[in-house]
């Protein structure tokens, strides 16, 4: 799968300010709110949309996307001049279906069932409702030429329907929506690499990396102390704490003292041998470099020695 290149929220805002044409405004609103494949967006018609009804318990419009359907995209744009431009009927399947060699719509989804995609964005729901009050199909070219032209002029890059699809994924991840819902809405079977990249980008970082100096401070203040107690004080797992203590012990910064408890329940207690501001020295005797992180020491050792 091609790596997505969705426009930033700032770029989308810039485009929205110039989205006076439906050919720009509708895809710019609907696709990022739903995550539809471009071909799905261009084939939307009234029969796919379930509008909320009174006492139905349905809060949002839902687009029901079949895996296979008759191509009912029976309209196209005619003319570019305002005086002659309009939407006219066309014969036969649309250019998208012709391109893949079929007279029918085929969803590119990798799922084996139809999808029901809710439109929880009010602006997107309103745009879709207003459009289908007048028309029963979406007539624009799959290239979205007008959107590409405007985006090239405004933000110095071309934005495609494919790019807009992944704005949905980015927004959903940022909102903390679970992977299963995101992947299902996007019509995917497995989590793609870009989902992991966005998750790393939007996952709140812990307030400062827990440095070995902080470990030493906690042990110095409370020692002799068990791994369990250090884990609670620093908010780290016991395995992570044990790993750090063993590295500190290897460098002579900590040592194990008399155990707490008896038999199999006995736990090592840890104490410090140095001050908490002691720096890590390179293992090579001829090297006098010192470091305040294990990462720095490892990088130096790997590159220099």
Per-residue pLDDT tens over the stretch 32-91: 999 999 889 988 888 899 988 877 778 889 999 988 888 877 655 554 444 334 555 556
CATH number of the domain within which 232 lies:
1.10.10.10
> For residues 283 and 247, what is the distance between their CA atoms, to the nearest angstrom?
13
- What pLDDT score does 64 carry? 92
Q: Among residues 176, 202, 228, which one ends one of the domains?
A: 202
User: Is 189 in contact with 226 (CB distance < 8 Å)?
Assistant: no
In a domain, 243, yes or no: yes
Q: Over the range 98-122, which residues count as b (16 or more CB within 10 Å of their CB) and which as e?
A: eeeeeeebbbebeeeeebebbbebe
- What pLDDT score does 79 carry? 46
Let me know whether 57 and 167 are in one domain.
yes
In a domain, 236, yes or no: yes
**For residue 117, which of 182, 69, 57 has the smallest C-alpha distance?**
182
Let me know whether 81 and 225 are in one domain.
no
In a domain, 1, yes or no: no
> For residues 245 and 220, what is the distance between their CA atoms, to the nearest angstrom?
13
Let me know whether 29 and 169 are in one domain.
yes
In a domain, 4, yes or no: no
> For residues 291 and 181, what is the distance between their CA atoms, to the nearest angstrom?
45
Q: What is the DSSP letter of 86?
A: E
Let me know whether 54 and 137 are in one domain.
yes
Q: Over the range 229-241, which residues count as b (16 or more CB within 10 Å of their CB) and which as e?
A: bbbebbebeeeeb
Q: Among residues 182, 202, 222, which one ends one of the domains?
A: 202
The residue-averaged pLDDT of 109-137 equals 86
Whether the link from the prior residue into 214 is cis, omega within 30° of 0, is: no
Q: Among residues 146, 173, 202, which one ends one of the domains?
A: 202
Residue 31 has pLDDT above 90, yes or no: yes
Rounded mean pLDDT of the chain? 79
Residue 199 has pLDDT above 70, yes or no: no
In a domain, 249, yes or no: yes
Name the pTM for this structure: 0.61
- What pLDDT score does 85 carry? 42
The domain total for the chain is 2
The pLDDT-based confidence of 242 (bands split at 50, 70, 90) is confident
> For residues 79 and 75, what is the distance between their CA atoms, to the nearest angstrom?
13
Structure-model confidence comparison of residues 96 and 93, the more confident one: 96
Quick one: what percent of the chain has pLDDT higher than 90? 7
The residue-averaged pLDDT of 244-266 equals 75
Let me know whether 238 and 170 are in one domain.
no
Q: How far is CA 246 from the centre of its chain?
A: 36
In a domain, 82, yes or no: yes
In a domain, 3, yes or no: no
Let me know whether 238 and 193 are in one domain.
no
Q: Which residues pair with 87 in a beta bridge?
A: 77
CA 286 vs CA 109, 251, 282, 283, 289: distances in Å: 61, 17, 9, 9, 9
Let me know whether 223 and 296 are in one domain.
yes
Among the ranges 8-17, 262-271, 281-290, which has the highest mean pLDDT value? 8-17
For residue range 142-192, what is the model confidence (pLDDT) as tens digits? 778 888 888 999 999 989 888 898 898 888 888 777 777 888 888 888 777
Residue 207 has pLDDT above 50, yes or no: no
H helices, E strands: number in the chain: 13, 12
Quick one: what percent of the chain has pLDDT higher than 70? 81
- What pLDDT score does 235 carry? 79
User: Is 28 in contact with 18 (CB distance < 8 Å)?
Assistant: no
Range of the domain at 89: 9-202
Let me know whether 184 and 224 are in one domain.
no
């Amino acid at each position: 799968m091609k790596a997505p290149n969705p426009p930033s929220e700032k770029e989308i805002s810039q485009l929205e300010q110039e989205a006076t044409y439906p050919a720009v405004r509708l895809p710019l609103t609907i696709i990022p709110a739903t995550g539809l494949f471009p071909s799905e967006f261009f084939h939307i018609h009234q029969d796919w949309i379930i509008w909320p009804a009174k006492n139905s318990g349905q809060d949002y419009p839902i687009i029901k996307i079949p895996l296979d359907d008759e191509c009912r995209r029976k309209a196209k744009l005619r003319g570019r001049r305002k005086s002659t431009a309009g939407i006219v009927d066309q014969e036969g399947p649309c250019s998208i279906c012709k391109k893949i060699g079929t007279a029918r719509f085929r969803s590119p989804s990798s799922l084996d069932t139809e999808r029901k995609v809710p439109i929880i964005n009010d602006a997107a729901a309103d745009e879709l409702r207003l459009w289908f009050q007048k028309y029963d199909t979406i007539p624009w070219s799959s290239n979205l030429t007008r959107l590409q032209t405007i985006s090239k002029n405004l933000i110095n890059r071309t934005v495609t329907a494919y790019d807009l699809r992944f704005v949905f994924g980015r927004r959903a991840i940022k909102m903390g929506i679970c992977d299963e819902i995101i992947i299902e809405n996007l019509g995917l079977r497995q989590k793609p690499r870009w989902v992991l990249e966005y998750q790393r980008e939007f996952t709140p970082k812990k307030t400062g990396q827990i440095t070995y100096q902080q470990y030493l401070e906690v042990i110095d203040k409370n020692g002799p102390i068990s791994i369990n107690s250090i884990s609670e004080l620093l908010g780290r797992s016991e395995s992570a704490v044990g790993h750090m203590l063993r590295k500190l012990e290897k460098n002579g910064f900590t040592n194990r003292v008399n155990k707490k408890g008896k038999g199999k329940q006995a736990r090592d207690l840890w104490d410090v041998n140095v001050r908490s501001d002691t720096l890590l020295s390179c293992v090579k005797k001829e090297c006098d470099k010192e470091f305040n992180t294990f990462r720095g020491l490892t990088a130096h050792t790997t590159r220099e020695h």
